[in-house]
Amino acid sequence: MHTEIIKALTSYVSLTQEEVETIISFYTYKKYPKKTIILHAGEVCKFEAFVIKGCLKTYFLDETGSEVVLTFASENWWVSDISSFYEGKPSKMYIDTLEACELLLITLEDKEALLRQLPQLERAFRIMIQRHLSVYQERLFASIALSAKERYAIFLEKYPSIPQRVPQHLIASYLGISPESLSRIRRGRV
């Protein structure tokens, strides 16, 4: 059940069986039903989670109250409001499950304890954050420099499985397109 998180971490450091068990012991396995809000704007994010199964969205509300999807997180990816989690400040984002989810969660205190015990994991987690950073960087570039059609094409290439499990209007929001426009782009009427 926990093999994937270990795979994700051992891509960057090697671990003994004992160390693997230590890591696992720090994480809490938890199931959430579909459409559960696991982080509300205004709250401090108390978890950093690894997605074993299911799919989530992270999003902000704009001034008119409509959702702006920042990321989708599915199997073998991490989800948290990193800056709220580490700096203890109230989050501005929401995190909802889109499907029934199974997550491995860790609190800040436990994560710090884990890192004290296995400092070689610092490296793995740093790389994890860097990956997130690159993803944002590329999306920002796309969002500034590319047309809606191009952004959608790139999205399909990069995340071919997401459209099969996520409502189209959320993908539109993620891409910064209106649902109507995305519908037309898909139709080729653009």
Q: Of DNA, a copy of itself, none, which one does residue 86 interact with (CB within 5 to 8 Å by kind)?
A: a copy of itself
Whether 84 contacts 37, CB under 8 Å: no
**Strand residues in 22-123 grouped as ranges (E):** 28-32, 37-39, 48-53, 56-61, 67-73, 78-79, 94-97, 101-106
Kindly report the backbone phi and psi dihedral angles of residue 148, in degrees, each rounded to the nearest multiple of 5, phi listed first: -55, -45
Q: Of DNA, a copy of itself, none, which one does residue 70 interact with (CB within 5 to 8 Å by kind)?
A: a copy of itself
Helix 148-158 × helix 179-187 angle, to 10°:
80
Least distance to DNA from the beta carbon of 59, Å? 13
Residues between 90 and 149 that touch a copy of itself (CB under 8 A) = 119, 122, 125-127, 129-134, 136-137, 139-141, 143-146
CB nearer to DNA: give 31 or 131.
Answer: 31
Kindly report the backbone phi and psi dihedral angles of residue 102, in degrees, each rounded to the nearest multiple of 5, phi listed first: -120, 120
Q: Which residues bind DNA (CB under 7 A)?
A: 147-149, 167-169, 176-184, 186-187, 189-190
CB nearer to DNA: give 15 or 176.
Answer: 176
DSSP-assigned states of every residue in 101-115: EEEEEE-HHHHHHHH
Q: Is 24 in the site for a copy of itself (CB under 8 A)?
A: no
Least distance to a copy of itself from the beta carbon of 77, Å? 15
- 161/115 Cα distance (integer angstroms): 33
CB nearer to a copy of itself: give 28 or 147.
Answer: 147
Whether 179 contacts 169, CB under 8 Å: yes
State the residues that interact with a copy of itself by CB under 8 A. Answer: 60, 62, 68, 70, 82-83, 86-87, 119, 122, 125-127, 129-134, 136-137, 139-141, 143-146, 173, 176
